[in-house]
Every structure is written in C-alpha cells, then in structure tokens.
Amino acid sequence: MKTTTFALLLLTAVTCHADDWPQWMGPNRDNIWRESGIIENFPENGPKVLWRTPIAGGYSGPAVANGKVFITDYVTSDNVKVGNFERKEFTGTERVLCLNESTGEVLWKYEYPVNYTVSYPSGPRCTPNVEDNRVYTLGSEGHLFCFDIPTGKVIWSKDLKKEYGTKAALWGYAAHPLIDGDNLLTLAGGNGTHIVALNKLTGAEKWRSATSPEQGYSPPTIIEFAGVRQLILYRPNAVSSVNPDNGEEYWSVPYEASNGSIIMSPIVMGEHLYVAGYSNKSLLLKLDKEKPRATEVWRDKRNIICPVNVQPFPVGNVLYGFDQKGVMRAIQLPDGERLWETQDVIGKRPAGSETAFLVQHEDHFWLFNELGELIIAKLAPEGYTEIDRFKVIEQSNLAFGRDVVWSMPAFANKHAYIRNDNEIICVDLAK
C-alpha cells in the first residue's frame, strides 16, 4: 500500500509539473499558468525562440495539447488593414493548422474558402478547443468544425449563420466555445438561438436558448452558486443565467451594450458577479446564496475597468485589468473604488483600446502587450511593479492608427506560443 501511495504521489507531482494549454485562457479557463521551473528574469539577450512557423492573419490564440499546437488563420490577398468599424467584403481562405509542438512542423491543415463581411478582417478570433483526440474550431463567419486530431479529418461541421438564419456580429464570431460534459456550447445568434448546445461528438443540437440583438463576443461561462450550476450569458441586451443542462432561464437582468461590445467573460468575486464593456457600461450583481437569482448593486460607474479586448483578473476583492482608455487599473469590489492606474505596461500611444493579456504564475504575472513584448510583473493593491520585459515578436496589424499584435499567447511545457499575422513562435521560458 505504501509503494502504491508513493507511486500515485510521484505521478501526481509529474502531472502537475507539466501543463498543456488546450483552450482559451488555459486548462481551467482561468488564465493561471500552474507549471513550475519557469524563469523569473529574462536572459541578457532575451529568451530563446525554439522555432518559427509561417502562418497568415488572425487574432486567435494557439491551443497546446498532447504534443501538438493548433492555430487558425486567414489567407487573403486583400488589404485587411481597414477601419475599426467598417463592414466590407473580403475573399480568402480560413485554415486550421496542426503543428508538432517540438519543432513547429505542420502535421496537417484544413482549409475552406470564406468571404469576410466583418470589421477587423485579419482572420479568426477563437482559440481552438482540444479534448481527447478532437479539436474544435470556430471561424470569423461562423464556420464551426470538429476534427479528428490523428488524421485531420472533419468529424462534423456547422455553418452557424446558415443554420440559424443570422449574420456575423460586426467583429465576427469571437466567443470561444465551451465544452461542458457531452455538450459543446457556442453562441449562434438568431431568434431563440443566442446560444446552442451541440452534442460534442456528433454536432446534433441538444437545446437552444435566448434571443439577443446581436451575438456579442462574451464566451459562455459556467459558475456554481447557491448549489446550482449556472451558465452565465453576457449579451448585448441582458446578463442572464440559464441551466446548462437544458437552456432554461434562471434569471435575467437588463443590460444595454454600446456597439454590441460585450467581450469579457463574467467574473465572480465572492457573492458578486461583474461585467463591463465599451462606453463605461458596467454592471455589478449580487448573487443569491439560497437559489439562482441576482439583484443589481450598481451600474455604469466611472473610472473603473471596462475592458474591450482582454479579460481582467481577480485576486481576492481586487480586480486588475485594462480599461477601454488603454490604461491598466486596479479596482476594489464591491464598492468599485479605483486603487490605481498606470500606462507603464504599454506607454503612451494613440488612445484607443491599448491591450495586454494577463496570466498569473505563482506570485507574479506574465503579460503580453500589443508591442509584442513579454513582461514579468507583480500586481498588488498598492501598485504595478515591473520585473523584466523583452520584445519577442513584431506588430503586424493596425488598430486606431497604430501597429499592434492582438493575440493571446498559450503557456505550456515551460514555453510561450505566440503568433502575429506572419508567424507563430515557440519561446523557451524554462529556468
């Protein structure tokens, strides 16, 4: 028995030591990197780039699982560096690529022609989602696929726009689908089909729920509160909770988004749920501890965190993140008091949605900003303390008149996997 126990402990230690990044925001969808043995400062000449693989345009982050890296892109000869709020038509090909995690070699790819009608038409937005021998991808115009990883063959697919009689939102399909038990939950759009649950193995619809003026971009998020699993839908006209098993609504609170701009995942801090978006449209709800119900505490506070690109990060009763003004802030909840703000992460640039992604690692954070820099820093109620930074990839796209790279990295196997519109790279961060 003692030998068995020791073997199990050893196996657990080994398992915890390495970690994949199989979906958006990591294994637990919480932006926490749990691996050990990671550098605390950069080498003098920066971290080593282990491989580079050419790819085309896109905002989608990579997924890393079982020795493979999955990324999506859009190949086009059209000029996709256009205005932030314009809808034009572009012709090209969306691709799904499966790479060897050790070398960056393309193991297989799948491509299909797509006419883009969305703003920011560089490419797909959603990070692939890997489970067992399957990977799920969602393109900018609603092309949803389930692939067999060993062969690269399509297991099933859906054209969400065609099937549900809708069109892509202004900035395309950008809400990362969520695997929940036997289901794949994804925003579809259309009447009564804001969200649909599909059998993850066959694509058959299990249930549909809610109607919204537009899909929005906030991913489906499941919480457990009052002893009940609740699927929280942050949509352009409401924040609502439904039963993830059948789509039946528990509660709903009205919300009015500007430009349909709802992007963050809802965040639970204690007994409160927080959402916010463009034009200082914020909402704090108090969750009932006895049954699935929510009441409004306040809305539309000024000078807090209203994110338009990146997910804020909660630590205790403090929320850290980037406001639409492009500054990083710390706010205290539930009162909404602003503790501090800083421009140090990116510097002073032409105002508008300056961006840096936040991932917690041990007692500090890794940030990846729109300048293509990796940053190691500490975040505390007292302020932002930078430890080190190094530029690892070039800006390749345009936003608000400035060059940017807007794609979330994956952190796995002591590496960072980072893409722009020309290449994906593997950066060694092992101690």
Domain membership of residue 136 as a residue range = 59-186
Q: How many CB atoms lie within 10 A of CB 212?
A: 23
Q: Per-residue pLDDT for 54 more than 60?
A: yes
Using CA atoms, how far apart are residues 51 and 360, in angstroms rounded to an integer? 25
Q: Per-residue pLDDT for 257 more than 90?
A: no
| Range with the poorest average pLDDT among 108-117, 171-180, 300-309, 343-352 | 343-352
Residues 168 and 273 in one domain: no
Mean pLDDT on 291-314:
94
Using CA atoms, how far apart are residues 250 and 229, in angstroms rounded to an integer? 11
Is residue 50 one of the residues assigned to a domain? yes
Average pLDDT over the chain, rounded to an integer: 93
Examine the fold and report which residue of 255, 275, 309 is the final residue of a domain before the chain moves on.
309
Residues 230 and 156 in one domain: no
Examine the fold and report which residue of 134, 166, 186 is the final residue of a domain before the chain moves on.
186
Q: Per-residue pLDDT for 64 more than 60?
A: yes
Residues 36 and 69 in one domain: no
Q: Per-residue pLDDT for 258 more than 90?
A: no
Q: Per-residue pLDDT for 13 more than 60?
A: no
How do residues 332-385 score in pLDDT, each as one tens digit?
Answer: 999 999 999 999 999 887 667 889 999 999 999 999 999 999 999 999 999 999
- Please report the DSSP string for 35-90 in residue order: -SSB-SS--TT---EEEEEE--B--PPPEEETTEEEEEEEE-SS-----TT----E
Residues 372 and 424 in one domain: yes
Quote the pLDDT of residue 348: 82
Measured over the CA atoms of residue 389, residue 393, residue 394 and residue 395, the dihedral's sign is negative
Q: Per-residue pLDDT for 268 more than 50?
A: yes
pLDDT grade for 21, boundaries at 50, 70 and 90:
very high
Q: Per-residue pLDDT for 20 more than 90?
A: yes
Residues 430 and 382 in one domain: yes
Is residue 132 one of the residues assigned to a domain? yes
pLDDT grade for 178, boundaries at 50, 70 and 90:
very high
Residues 131 and 248 in one domain: no
| Range with the poorest average pLDDT among 2-11, 32-41, 69-78, 242-251 | 2-11
Quote the pLDDT of residue 2: 40
- Please report the DSSP string for 149-166 in residue order: TTT--EEEEEEHHHHHT-
Residues 149 and 165 in one domain: yes
Using CA atoms, how far apart are residues 140 and 158, in angstroms rounded to an integer? 13
**The model's pTM:** 0.94
Is residue 348 one of the residues assigned to a domain? yes
pLDDT grade for 8, boundaries at 50, 70 and 90:
very low
Q: Per-residue pLDDT for 298 more than 90?
A: yes
Using CA atoms, how far apart are residues 411 and 415, in angstroms rounded to an integer? 6
Question: Percent of the chain, pLDDT > 70?
Answer: 95
Are residues 318 and 305 in contact, defined by beta-carbon separation less than 8 angstroms? Answer: no
Mean pLDDT on 391-418:
95
Quote the pLDDT of residue 260: 67
Is residue 193 one of the residues assigned to a domain? no
Residues 180 and 66 in one domain: yes
Quote the pLDDT of residue 84: 73
Residues 351 and 414 in one domain: yes
Q: Per-residue pLDDT for 9 more than 50?
A: no
Is residue 210 one of the residues assigned to a domain? no
Is residue 202 one of the residues assigned to a domain? no
Examine the fold and report which residue of 309, 337, 362 is the final residue of a domain before the chain moves on.
309
Residues 328 and 418 in one domain: yes
Measured over the CA atoms of residue 181, residue 183, residue 184 and residue 185, the dihedral's sign is negative
Q: Which two tokens stand for residue 375?
A: 């940053």
Quote the pLDDT of residue 51: 98
Tokens 């505490």, residue?
A: 297
CATH of the domain at 228: 2.40.10.480
Domains: count for the chain: 3
Question: Percent of the chain, pLDDT > 90?
Answer: 86
Quote the pLDDT of residue 3: 39
Quote the pLDDT of residue 256: 87
Residues 49 and 64 in one domain: no
Is residue 264 one of the residues assigned to a domain? yes
Is residue 161 one of the residues assigned to a domain? yes
Are residues 221 and 243 in contact, defined by beta-carbon separation less than 8 angstroms? Answer: no
Q: Which amino acid is at 380?
A: A
Using CA atoms, how far apart are residues 73 and 57, in angstroms rounded to an integer? 5
